[in-house]
Each structure stands twice: as C-alpha cells, then as structure tokens.
C-alpha cells in the first residue's frame, strides 16, 4: 500500500482542495493507497502571515478535512520542511502554488530520501484568495 502525503492550511476549504485529495488518492489506480493530509496549525499560519484572517480554528479545519471521503488520516504540522521528516509516506503530493522555501526544502528532502514528489494541477477558477474576495462583497 502506498501512502500519499499532502500539506496545506485549508482555511477556506473549496472544491479545488477536494479535487486535490481525489487526484492524490487516484495517483496509483492499480494499488491500494492511503491519503494523509497535514493541516497547518493556526499559530504557525499567523507566525508566517500575521495579517491572515483565519476563518476556522485548527480543530475545525481538521474536522472538515477528515470528513472528506478521499482522506484517510489527518495530522497537524507547523513547518512542512521539518514535519515531513516525521511522517511515514511514499509520495509527497502538492499543488503547483506550494513553492515557498519550506516546500522547496521539503521537496529536496524527498529527493534525497527516495520519496516521490507529484504536483497536482490546480482547479481553474477557484482559490482561497478568490473566496476571500467574494466574502468582501
């Protein structure tokens, strides 16, 4: 069984996130796969983005993500490049916009440790930023 790991904040959970989970889970159609989703702790989100206005607490986001049928297990994380080393997995699945230095270091760690990195394409027409703009209307 392959274990696929993905990281994110998931504060403004939307169809793009659900499709990320679906596509990650379907990466190996002929094998049984387990999807682990790491949800970033709110305190760390605010540490890196103090201007962020979080809608949901860490526990609420864990509850929502764990309710999605494609997700097998949810964990929390503080820093992707540190916490990726503490999870047993085979494949690191990420979105194309997840490219800040922490994700770059996590990808490098994966390459050095025999983990596959897969970029799941974005869902066009939806993003957390777009949802925040709708909330302002």
Active site positions, annotated: 47, 49
Burial (CB < 10 A; 0-12, 13-18, 19+), residue 122, is middle
- Chain position carrying tokens 């709708």: 134
35 neighbors 24 (Cβ within 8 angstroms)? yes
Phi, psi (5° rounding) for residue 68? Answer: -85, 130
Can you tell me the distance from the alpha carbon of 21 to that of 41, in angstroms, rounded to the nearest whole number?
19
């Amino acid at each position: 069984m392959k274990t696929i790991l993905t990281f994110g904040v998931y504060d403004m959970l939307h169809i793009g996130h659900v499709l990320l989970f679906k596509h990650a889970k379907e990466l190996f159609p002929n094998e049984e796969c387990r999807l682990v989703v790491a949800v970033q702790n709110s305190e760390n989100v605010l540490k890196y983005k103090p201007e962020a206005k979080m809608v949901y607490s860490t526990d609420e986001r864990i509850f929502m993500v764990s309710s999605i049928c494609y997700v097998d297990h949810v964990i929390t994380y503080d820093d992707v490049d540190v916490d990726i080393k503490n999870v047993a997995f085979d494949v690191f699945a990420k979105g194309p916009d997840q490219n800040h230095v922490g994700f770059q270091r996590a990808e490098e760690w994966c390459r050095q440790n025999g983990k596959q990195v897969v970029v799941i394409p974005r869902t066009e027409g939806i993003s957390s930023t777009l949802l925040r703009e709708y909330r302002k209307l």
